[in-house]
Amino acid sequence: MLPAFDITASDRLLELAAEIDADDSWAQAIVDSTPMPDWPPVTHALLWLGAGVLIVAGFIGTVLPGLPGVLIIYAGMWLGAWIDHFTRVGWPTLLILGVLTALALVADLIASLLGAKRVGASRQALIGSVLGGLAGPLLGFGLVGLLFGPFVGAVIGELIARRPMIAAARVGFGTWLGLLAGTLVKIALAVSMLGIFVTACLL
Task: Let me know: does 130 contact 153? Beta carbons within 8 Å.
Answer: yes
**pLDDT-based confidence at residue 14 (cuts at 50, 70, 90):** very low
d(CA 158, CA 161): 5
Q: How far apart are CA 51 and CA 73, in angstroms?
A: 9
Ordered by start, the domain boundaries in the chain are 40-202
**126, 116 Cβ separation under 8 angstroms:** yes
pLDDT digits (tens, 9 = 90+) for 50-107: 999 999 999 998 987 767 899 999 999 999 999 989 999 999 999 999 999 999 988 8
pLDDT bucket at 137, cuts 50 / 70 / 90: confident
pLDDT, position 199: 95
Global pTM reads 0.70
Q: Which residues contact 79 (CB under 8 A, 6 or more apart)?
A: 47, 50, 51, 54
Query: For residues 196 and 182, what is the distance between their CA atoms, to the nearest angstrom?
Result: 21
- Residue 28: the pLDDT is 45
Residue among 162, 164, 172, 165 nearest 130 (CA): 172
Contact (CB, 8 A) for 51 and 80: yes
Sign of the CA dihedral running 118, 121, 122, 126: negative
Q: pLDDT band for 17, please (50, 70, 90 cuts).
A: very low
Residue 33: pLDDT band by 50, 70, 90 thresholds?
very low
Q: What does the angle CA 147 – CA 61 – CA 90 come to, to the nearest 5 degrees? A: 140
Query: CA 63 to CA 49: how far, in whole Å?
Result: 22
Tens-digit pLDDT profile for residues 38-52? 778 888 899 999 999
